[in-house]
Structure 1
Amino acid sequence: MHPSRITPYCLALIGLLSIFTASAQEKDATTAPVPEAAMSQTTHKARINGDTIKYSVHAGDIHLKDKDGKPTASVFSISYLREDVDNRAERPLLFVFNGGPGSSSVWMHMGLFGPKRVVLPSDASKVGAPPYPIKNNPDSLLDMADLVFIDPVGTGYSKPLGETEGKAFWGVKEDAQALAEFVRLYITKHKRWNSPKYLAGESYGTTRAAAMVGELQEGWGSIDLNGVMLISSILDFQTGDFTDGNDLPYLTFLPTYAATAWYHDAIPNKAQYDSLGSFLSEVKDFALGEYASVLLKGDLASDDSKASVVDALHAYTGLDKTYIEQTDMRINEFYFMKELLRDRGDVVGRLDSRYLGEDEVQVSSSFEADPSSYAIDGAYTAALQHYMATELDVLREEKYNVLSGDVFRNWNWQIGNSARGQGFLAMTPTLSRAMRQNKDFRIFVANGYYDLATPFFATEYSMNHHGIDKDRLTMKYYEAGHMMYIHQPSLEQLTEDLRQFLSSAN
């Protein structure tokens, strides 16, 4: 067409086509190509539980795909397979993950289950800068079971692919469906459909484990499980969410407040108790009895009843009576962490209340950061990165997301008709249903006395409701915090308890 013959209509059409073309080119440019699923394999041997065993490590990606076979996500995992076994098909298989939501599996990998672990001081003293001791883990369960450490999408090296966004995987149900599909793909690729299978989760990972049980076991074509291992569990969020109108957490947190005060010699009459166990037994009786009654009655409670509760809370926590009265006998966890040792200038940790920190501002109502988090984060991060690069042949320039704030902030808490903000998420009924539908399904629960993130009494509350079969439930307690395996005596007892749990399977 001659330039003089171009009409305004044609110019407009050409301009519109240019916009569409530029938009399409921009979209193509921003849609990253789908990378190949990389997988490294190395062989090793280690002394575990008194025996020298040979094993292989498979570290890399498995792609999840949609119904049309198009990759939607790359899930990074590190699996340990013992080589000197006669019948792999009947060997137990543990799928392990942490929580957050938004956490990679670094903590359980390098702290509890893996054949290598980073060793931190058992007494909750400050850790500091590298180098950190990375040692063989003679307490690993690799002698008894093969281990698969999974990083959910958005954590570790796991990521969405193509045009799929991370939000497609960031939710209670979305996450459980994705990891259930990973399990299906893994047992298919490794010919492990008939192996005994367990899920092992920590913190929100216990919520994830329960949700995955529902995805795997319910419906036709199910993948039945032998059990779950719940480390520092949170299943029913009403027990742990401090929201207006919900008095339950004030009861469920109290025994952990008391244990923390006991540990730091902050209670007035510690000498009158024979042990921490006897002390906490009395505190739990008070929480379920007199304390619960007064909170339930509200303004109907008599002045004498309120005064009695204030006296008891002072005796069990060491907090000032005036402070307890000012809180209306309702002590928030973050206020407690700051208030307990305020006169000493210390704040206690949330994940592990044995840890102490010092804030710049002493008069604030809550701490500036969790002392038990910043004490261990650098060590675990450095240890895993060093281990992957030097021993597992995994050396990637992309960032390994230890804990993703994006995942947590964008999490969809709704499952079915229940949303966390509109009625509390409850996963214990799913585990109870799993027990009714699978006669061999068992539950192991590990609780830390000094865990202010997922208090042990909240877990007891959950396990005493919803019809859990107590004959197939194992509850254990350790004098440490959320990651009780940091404490060497607790690590040794925990692994012994886990071995007993695995070996007692029918």
Structure 2
Amino acid sequence: MTVRTFPAVDASGIQVGSCSATTYLRDVQDGNAQSARPVVFAFNGGPGSSSTPLHLGGLGPRRAAFPTDLSAGPLAPFTVEPNPHSLLDVADLVFIDAINTGYGGSDTTDGSASVYGVDGDAACFAGVITNWLLDAGRLHSPKYLLGESYGTIRAPLVARTLFNQATSIAVNGIVLLGQALNLQETTQRPTNVMGTVAALPFMAATAWYHGRSKLTAETADYVTQVAHEYATTTYLSALVQGGSLEQPERHAVAQRLSELIGIPADYLLRSRLRIHTDDFRQLLLQDQQAVLGSNDARYTLTASDSRRAEAVADPATAAMAPGLTAAAARYYREELQVEERSYQPMDPQAARDWVWQDPAYPNPRLGTRPSPFGTFDYAASLSGYLKANPTAHLLIGTGLYDSLTTVGMVEHLISQNDLPADRLHRRTYDSGHMMYTDPEASAQLNNDLRAFIAASSIV
């Protein structure tokens, strides 16, 4: 295991700071055997997150000891334990921290500005990966990019950057966990029909989990399939018709929605058959004065009093974040004995200053400046790479109780982007946004990753 920093270089080739990476190599005496081992480069999202959730959530050889009781809360002590399901048995692991997280930082007070955006961030991560491969002599190894949340936007962009740079590098596979590539198309803006359609399977699964669904089903997967079929047929037609929908049909849709998602039909009628996932999380267990988590809707907390200045906490984040942060600090300082400085889990400035426009799709009216006329076609970097590299595979993993990057978003991504079916692997998990924090989902996901690597590793 090694912890080291790499230059953080922006899209212009200028070094603006450093990024840190934690590497795990299986002890293999034969140099040829080492070179034949796959390498997985893993990173989280944010923007502005370190790789801690993937690293200590369940991918690395050690993991934070999350309680299996979802109501346990964020109680100390925060321990780190061996991870029997770690992917290290089949692949070497490199966890990359974004600039100003982990042990990386900016060279100047505003040095990170040029990598706070789609283009600069992809160049920065591609540079770290290129330097790691060259330094380790591993250009011949099977290579994988694994991103979570915003990291799923980053991963295809990095693959494209690596492929097109002077030191051309092709990756064998891309893994998207909690995919966000089509956020623009599936965001629940007031009149965005597809955003409403994509959200329905998540709400149906969550209502079923909390006993508020009228569906009699044994699995959340079945519930999401039923909801997806209804969402893309009758529900989609009703939403497209909008105000012209006849009253009998409108009432029938409201009633069916109520059966699926546990929200009263009269509320749905008043809200034009639409409900935002944030409102759904507030309303589903309103009679119990409970609110659901956004990262993982299985978690609940007592709703805050809107009449008082009570802090509003996301139930899932409140339960997991303190333990994960403390586990990382303890692990690096006590077990790895890295004494350079404190390990930084997040860079909040990144999300505030992020430039979301992809320069590959300039705005015809305003150049590359983001605007309502801009194109944010992040999925094109994925479909384009899979066309340029006809042997690369794709794995998409989604938590069924994730309200941020829902299972319906994946359906939309696949149906609208001509992804190669023979190289597409899709899995769902009984978990939330960060599926590694659930021990059972983590074990299942690592097994799926082993099968994915076996199916796509070509030396």
TM-score (norm 1): 0.84
CA distance in 1, matches of 2:396, 2:378: 14
- Secondary structure at the aligned position of 1:117 is classed as strand
1:223 aligns with 2:135: no
**Corresponding residue for 1:490?**
441
1:277 aligns with 2:249: no
Given candidates 79, 98, 101, the residue that maps to 2:44 is: 98
Distance 1:420 1:188, change over 3 A: farther
- Secondary structure at the aligned position of 1:443 is classed as strand
**Corresponding residue for 2:344?**
401
**Corresponding residue for 2:284?**
340
1:457 aligns with 2:408: yes
CA distance in 2, matches of 1:275, 1:189: 47
Deviations 1:379-437 (CA, angstroms, capped at 9, x unpaired)? 01111111101121212335x33222211010000112264754462322221111211
Bigger Rg, structure 1 or 2: 1
**Corresponding residue for 1:111?**
57
Deviations 1:300-338 (CA, angstroms, capped at 9, x unpaired)? 221122111111110001101221122211111111111
Deviation at 1:274, TM superposition (A): 4.5
RMSD (Å), alpha carbons? 2.2
Given candidates 4, 28, 46, the residue that maps to 1:84 is: 28
Whether contact under 8 Å (1:237, 1:425) holds in the other structure is no
CA distance in 1, matches of 2:153, 2:206: 25
Amino acid corresponding to residue 301 of structure 2 in structure 1: G
CA distance in 1, matches of 2:329, 2:387: 42
Amino acid corresponding to residue 392 of structure 2 in structure 1: F
- Secondary structure at the aligned position of 2:174 is classed as strand
**Corresponding residue for 2:366?**
none
- The aligned runs of 1:209-288 (5 Å cut-off) are 209-218=155-164, 221-267=167-213, 269-270=214-215, 272-288=216-232
Whether contact under 8 Å (2:357, 2:374) holds in the other structure is no
Distance 1:78 1:137, change over 3 A: same
- The aligned runs of 1:466-485 (5 Å cut-off) are 466-485=417-436
**Corresponding residue for 1:360?**
304
1:503 aligns with 2:432: no
CA distance in 1, matches of 2:247, 2:254: 11
- Secondary structure at the aligned position of 1:464 is classed as helix
1:301 aligns with 2:245: yes
Whether contact under 8 Å (1:72, 1:162) holds in the other structure is yes
Whether contact under 8 Å (1:342, 1:362) holds in the other structure is no
Distance 1:122 1:422, change over 3 A: farther
CA distance in 1, matches of 2:347, 2:109: 20
Whether contact under 8 Å (1:123, 1:487) holds in the other structure is no
**Corresponding residue for 1:121?**
67
CA distance in 2, matches of 1:394, 1:301: 63
Whether contact under 8 Å (1:238, 1:246) holds in the other structure is no
CA distance in 2, matches of 1:408, 1:501: 32
Deviation at 1:220, TM superposition (A): 5.3
CA distance in 2, matches of 1:298, 1:444: 36
Amino acid corresponding to residue 400 of structure 2 in structure 1: Y
Distance 1:483 1:70, change over 3 A: closer
Amino acid corresponding to residue 317 of structure 2 in structure 1: S
Is the deviation greater in 63-72 or in 494-503?
A: 63-72
CA distance in 2, matches of 1:66, 1:459: 30
Q: Percent same amino acid at aligned positions?
A: 32
Given candidates 6, 19, 41, the residue that maps to 1:75 is: 19
CA distance in 1, matches of 2:40, 2:202: 30
Distance 1:433 1:383, change over 3 A: same
- The aligned runs of 1:180-199 (5 Å cut-off) are 180-199=126-145
Amino acid corresponding to residue 180 of structure 1 in structure 2: A
Amino acid corresponding to residue 407 of structure 2 in structure 1: F
CA distance in 1, matches of 2:306, 2:8: 49
Whether contact under 8 Å (1:204, 1:234) holds in the other structure is yes
Amino acid corresponding to residue 501 of structure 1 in structure 2: F
Deviation at 1:98, TM superposition (A): 0.2
Distance 1:475 1:128, change over 3 A: same
Q: Which runs of 5+ in 1 are unaligned?
A: 1-56
CA distance in 2, matches of 1:284, 1:122: 29
Distance 1:326 1:70, change over 3 A: closer
Number of residue-to-residue matches in the alignment? 446
- The aligned runs of 1:368-383 (5 Å cut-off) are 368-383=312-327
Deviations 1:20-50 (CA, angstroms, capped at 9, x unpaired)? xxxxxxxxxxxxxxxxxxxxxxxxxxxxxxx
Deviation at 1:162, TM superposition (A): 4.0
Whether contact under 8 Å (2:11, 2:123) holds in the other structure is no
1:415 aligns with 2:373: no
Whether contact under 8 Å (1:240, 1:454) holds in the other structure is no
CA distance in 1, matches of 2:295, 2:404: 5
Q: Does 1 or 2 have the higher relative contact order (CA < 8 Å, sep 6+)?
A: 2
**Corresponding residue for 1:8?**
none
